[in-house]
């Protein structure tokens, strides 16, 4: 409502009150209240718009702050609704920040408890930044207000690990000894991610974590025995200490970045590849330079860049590979992680598999990322060493222990770990060297995991099974063990399962697989990949019975070209009789043909007729050659017709009874009134290349040329002698 409208309303109210006998002063007061109320509603709309669509973060925070201290229920409702809008991250973050800033404000905020539930719900977000902002906002409450739901969230094993870790982050911020006690208790939790988060939180608060349950209990008891004042005093000291440490770390990081920038400049200034390798080697090797982890990580980044770049052939592997193997057991966790992310560089060293296995055993069980990556790289290193031409040998014991680890990963509930375990089993079963019982054990493990898995994960396992049927020295055993799984997978509702099942049957027996697919009409599958695999297979091993369903795909969808190429391959393998039966389908004059109209380009049809012509010539199918010539003439395709006749003449002279001669006679006889047709025949005759010793043919040509000349004279108008 505009200001002008409000003034008119005020005037109307005054007049109405006078008519009703109400005092003017009372009417003015009532009307002014209405105007003020309308102004408030207008301001609320402005603030709401600024919060939800403000162009800057500060604009959104300011709008949220105004509404936070408003006594209007509508303002509070807007804030609560915004906190529940996961899709509007910017506005939700602004409300969280406004709440955090309100802790030091002079104004009092009413009904803070309204925000407990929505803030704790944000902790369920997978967005760590959002969760951190919500955790910081919970500091507006006394611990008693949130301890119940927060502690329940952090200990509920049914919740996602990310949710519980976010709750740990909120506990860490609470200046209450009960929150610290809960963090200590979480060190014994069954969820490794929660344990790691609790440990990191305690360390950041300068609180010891203990080496075992007994030492943790002593620390916990000591904190519980503290009085509130004593705990807060120690808390403030630790917070101040942490603040100073943070400032020092920022300063150190600034100098660290300056140093790395200088290293970039020095490195880029080196032109010689050997000198570059030497420079990287010095900064990678802790024993040579004593460089800190940040520098080693910088050097690893340069190594990765070089290895993945266009100058790979100049990479100084001999100089750097031994250093990289040493970095597998580096004292810094991040250096170890980045090192094992370079498996192709490590696997060329004869010691890499052994060093990886040793470090895997030493890795902290709670650091899944490093340990799992170490396992994956170990599998790649073992696989490479087992290749016949690798030039590297590894102990059979390393291979067997890696397989045992892979089996454990395969049995994990975590989908990604399961995939990695399956992949390593596949790699290590590709080469010989295992007893029959061992091979059977791991094939059974894959089968069992497949039995207990559904959807896309089942497809992943089937894909590994299919890979073993394709390229393992034990592929015969694999085929016997897994065939039933592939056949069963053809009817699965998940595309990936059917795709892997199709691959598996193809790898086992191509011809038999095509029979199964054809009889089950799998070439009509809803998965584009399944259809493409079967079409390609038909091109490899298919026969005449596959031509009909392939022809149905021509010109109708994205599989058209692939289907056509497969048809050509089948035609190339087929005899002349098969091509004779299909020739009418490619005849441009046959409007009822399956491939008539615009389904095939002329050049595609020509490709078929070239194949048909070769087959007819090699099998001496003269009648078929005549049919082909008739098609070429009526099409018309002058060059193709001339080529066909030339090929026939290269074999022998053509008598009057020869089918080629009869076709040309018929063409000239039935179309002698058509000038275009005569031009076609004249063009064909001119292009035919015949050996000199073909008298019959020369006689036919003279006869045809004579008839063409007579027709031409009859059609030309006679002129007078004067003209």
- Supply the CATH number for residue 82's domain: 1.25.40
Could you tell me if residue 528 is inside a domain? Answer: no
Has residue 614 been placed in a domain? Answer: yes
**Which residues make Cβ contacts (< 8 Å) with residue 540, sequence separation at least 6?**
510, 569
Q: How would residue 106 be classed by pLDDT, with cut points 50, 70 and 90?
A: low
Tell whether 328 is covered by a domain. Answer: no
What's the structural domain count of the chain? Answer: 2
Report the number of secondary-structure helices (H) and strands (E) in the chain.
38, 0
User: Would you state the pLDDT for residue 34?
Assistant: 45
pLDDT category at 217 given cuts 50, 70, 90 is: confident
Q: Which of 30-34, 334-338, 598-602 has the lowest mean pLDDT?
A: 30-34
719 or 358: which leads in pLDDT: 358
Give the integer Cα–Cα distance in Å for 365 and 367. 6
Helix, coil or strand: residue 84: coil
Please classify residue 272 by burial: count the beta carbons closer than 10 Å to its beta carbon, then call 0-12 exposed, 13-18 middle and 19+ buried: exposed
Give the model's pLDDT for residue 456: 93
What is the 3-class SS of 386-423, one letter each residue?
Answer: HCCCCCCCCCHHHHHHHHHHHHHHHCCCCHHHHHHHHH
Pull the structure tokens for residue 37.
Answer: 């109320």
Question: Which residues have a Cβ under 8 Å from the Cβ of 649 and sit 6 or more positions away?
Answer: 688, 689, 690, 691, 694, 697
Domain boundary among 196, 224, 242: 242
Answer with the residue of higher pLDDT: 198 or 243. 198
The pLDDT of residue 203 is: 84
Q: Which carries the bigger pLDDT value, residue 390 or residue 245?
A: 390
Q: CA torsion 284→287→293→299, rounded to 10°? A: -10
Query: Percent of the chain beyond pLDDT 70?
Result: 91
Reduced to 3 states (helix: H, G, I; strand: E, B; else coil), residue 490 is coil
Phi-psi region of 587 (alpha: psi -120 to 50; beta: other; left: phi over 0): beta
In sequence order, what are the residues at sequence separation of 6 or more whose Cβ sits closer than 8 angstroms to the Cβ of residue 350? 385, 392, 393
Q: How many CB atoms lie within 10 A of CB 121?
A: 16
In whole angstroms, give the CA distance from residue 198 to residue 180.
10
Mark which of 177, 209, 242 sits at the end of a domain.
242
Q: Return the pLDDT at 288.
A: 61
Which pLDDT belongs to residue 588? 85
Quote the pLDDT of residue 419.
Answer: 96
The mean per-residue pLDDT over the stretch 622-634 comes to 94
pLDDT of residue 599: 83
Domain boundary among 188, 213, 242: 242
Q: What is the pLDDT of residue 715?
A: 61
Cα(505)–Cα(514) distance, rounded to whole angstroms? 9
pLDDT average, residue stretch 503-508: 98
Nearest to 40 by CA among 97, 84, 12, 1: 1
- Is pLDDT larger for residue 226 or for residue 26? 226
Are 697 and 653 contacting, i.e. CB atoms less than 8 angstroms apart? Answer: yes
pLDDT for the residue 401? 97
pLDDT at 575 over 70: yes
Domain that holds residue 704: 574-715
Per-residue confidence band for 177, with pLDDT thresholds at 50, 70 and 90: confident
Where are any strands of DSSP class E within 528-583? none
**What is the pLDDT of the chain when averaged over all its residues?**
87
pLDDT (0 to 100) of residue 708: 84
Which is nearest to 327 in space by CA: 355, 292, 364?
A: 355
Whether 675 contacts 715, CB under 8 Å: yes
Q: What is the largest CA-CA distance in the chain?
A: 138
Given a cut of 70, is residue 32 above it in pLDDT?
A: no
Instruction: Specify the higher pLDDT residue, 215 or 496.
Output: 496
Residue 36 lies in a domain: yes
The first and second tokens of residue 667, run together, are 């063409």
Residue 256 counted as domain residue: no
Per-residue pLDDT of 530-539, as tens digits, reads 999 999 999 9
d(CA 277, CA 274): 5
Q: At what angle do helices 622-634 and 675-687 cross, to 10 degrees?
A: 130
Looking at per-residue pLDDT, the higher value among 674 and 287 belongs to: 287
Query: How many CB atoms are located within 10 Å of the residue 332 CB?
Result: 16
Judged by average pLDDT, the poorest of 18-22, 280-284, 457-461 is: 18-22
Tell me the three state secondary structure of residue 240. helix
R_g (Cα) of the chain, nearest Å? 42
**pLDDT of the residue at 580:** 94
Model confidence over 637-662: pLDDT tens digits? Answer: 999 999 999 999 999 999 999 999 99
- 411 within some domain: no
Question: Can you tell me the mean pLDDT for 542-551?
Answer: 95
* The three-state (H, E, C) secondary structure of 474-513, written as one string: CHHHHHHHHHHHHHHHCCCCCHHHHHHHHHHHHHHCHHHH
% of the chain at pLDDT higher than 90: 63
Mean pLDDT to the nearest integer, 683-699: 94
The CA distances from residue 430 to 412, 448, 476, 506, 716, in Å, are 23, 20, 12, 18, 81
Task: Give yes or no for a contact between 477 and 435, defined as CB atoms under 8 angstroms apart.
Answer: no
CA dist., res. 344 & res. 342, Å (int)? 6
Q: How far apart are CA 370 and CA 468, in angstroms?
A: 28
Residue 169 lies in a domain: yes
Q: How far, in Å, CA of 205 to CA of 239, rounded? A: 7
| The pLDDT of residue 711 | 67
Considering the domain boundaries, does residue 600 fall inside one?
A: yes
């Amino acid at each position: 409502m505009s200001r002008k409208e409000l003034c008119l309303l005020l005037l109307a109210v005054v007049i109405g009150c006078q008519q009703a006998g109400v005092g003017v002063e009372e009417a003015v007061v009532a009307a002014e209240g209405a105007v003020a109320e309308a102004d408030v509603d207008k301001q609320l709309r402005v603030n709401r718009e600024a919060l939800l669509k403000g162009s800057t973060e500060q604009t959104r925070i300011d709008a949220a702050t105004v509404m936070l201290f408003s006594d209007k229920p509508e303002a509070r409702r807007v804030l609560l609704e915004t906190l529940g809008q996961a899709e509007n991250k910017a506005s939700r973050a602004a409300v969280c920040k406004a709440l955090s800033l309100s802790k030091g404000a002079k104004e009092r905020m009413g009904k803070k408890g309204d925000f407990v539930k929505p803030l704790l719900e944000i902790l369920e977000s997978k967005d760590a930044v959002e969760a951190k902002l919500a955790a910081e906002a919970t500091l507006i409450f006394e611990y008693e207000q949130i301890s119940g739901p927060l502690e329940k969230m952090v200990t509920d094993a049914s919740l996602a690990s990310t949710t519980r870790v976010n709750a740990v982050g909120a506990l860490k911020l609470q200046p209450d000894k009960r929150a610290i006690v809960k963090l200590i208790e979480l060190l014994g939790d069954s969820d490794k991610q929660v344990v790691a988060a609790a440990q990191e939180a305690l360390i950041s608060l300068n609180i010891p974590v203990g080496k075992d349950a007994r030492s943790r209990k002593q620390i916990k008891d000591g904190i519980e025995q503290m009085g509130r004042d004593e705990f807060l005093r120690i808390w403030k000291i630790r917070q101040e200490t942490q603040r100073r440490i943070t400032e020092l770390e920022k300063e150190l990081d600034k100098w660290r970045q300056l140093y790395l920038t200088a290293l970039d400049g020095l490195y880029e200034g080196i032109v010689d590849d050997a000198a570059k390798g030497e420079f990287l080697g010095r900064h990678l090797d802790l024993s040579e330079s004593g460089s800190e982890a940040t520098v080693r990580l910088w050097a690893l980044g340069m190594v990765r860049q070089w290895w993945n770049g266009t100058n790979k052939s100049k990479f100084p592997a001999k100089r750097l590979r031994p250093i990289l193997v040493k970095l597998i057991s580096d004292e810094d966790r991040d250096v170890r992680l980045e090192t094992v992310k370079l498996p192709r560089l490590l696997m060329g060293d004869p010691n890499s598999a052994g060093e990886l296995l040793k470090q895997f055993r030493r890795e902290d069980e709670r650091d899944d990322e490093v340990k799992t990556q170490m396992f994956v790289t170990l599998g790649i290193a073992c696989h490479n060493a087992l290749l016949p031409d690798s030039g590297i040998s590894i102990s059979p014991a390393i291979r067997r222990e890696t397989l045992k680890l892979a089996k454990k990963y395969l049995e994990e509930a975590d989908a990604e770990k399961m995939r990695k375990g399956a992949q390593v089993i596949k790699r290590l079963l590709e080469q010989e060297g295992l007893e029959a019982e061992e091979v059977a054990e791991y094939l059974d493990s894959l089968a069992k995991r497949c039995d207990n898995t559904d959807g896309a994960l089942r497809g992943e396992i089937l894909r590994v099974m299919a890979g073993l049927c394709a390229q393992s020295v034990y592929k015969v055993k694999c085929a016997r063990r897994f065939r039933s799984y592939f056949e069963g997978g053809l009817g699965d509702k998940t595309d990936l399962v059917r795709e892997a099942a199709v691959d598996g049957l193809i790898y086992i027996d191509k011809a038999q697989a095509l029979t199964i697919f054809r009889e089950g009409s799998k070439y009509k599958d809803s998965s584009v990949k399944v259809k493409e695999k079967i079409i390609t297979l038909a091109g490899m091993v298919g026969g005449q019975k596959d031509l009909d369903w392939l022809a149905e795909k021509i010109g109708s969808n994205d599989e058209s070209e692939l289907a056509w190429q497969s048809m050509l391959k089948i035609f190339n393998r087929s005899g002349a009789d098969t091509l004779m039966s299909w020739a009418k389908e490619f005849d441009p004059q046959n409007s009822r043909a399956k491939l008539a109209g615009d389904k095939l380009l002329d050049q595609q049809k020509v490709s078929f007729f070239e194949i048909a012509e070769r087959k007819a010539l090699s099998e001496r199918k003269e009648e078929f050659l005549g049919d082909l010539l008739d098609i070429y003439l009526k099409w018309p395709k002058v060059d193709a017709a001339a080529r066909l006749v030339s090929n026939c003449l290269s074999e022998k002279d053509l008598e009057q009874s020869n089918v080629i001669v009869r076709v040309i006679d018929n063409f000239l006889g039935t179309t002698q009134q058509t000038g275009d047709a005569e031009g076609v025949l004249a063009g064909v005759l001119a292009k035919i290349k015949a050996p000199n010793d073909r008298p019959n043919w020369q006689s036919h040509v003279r006869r045809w040329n004579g008839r063409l000349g007579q027709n031409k004279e009859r059609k030309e108008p006679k002129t007078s002698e004067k003209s």
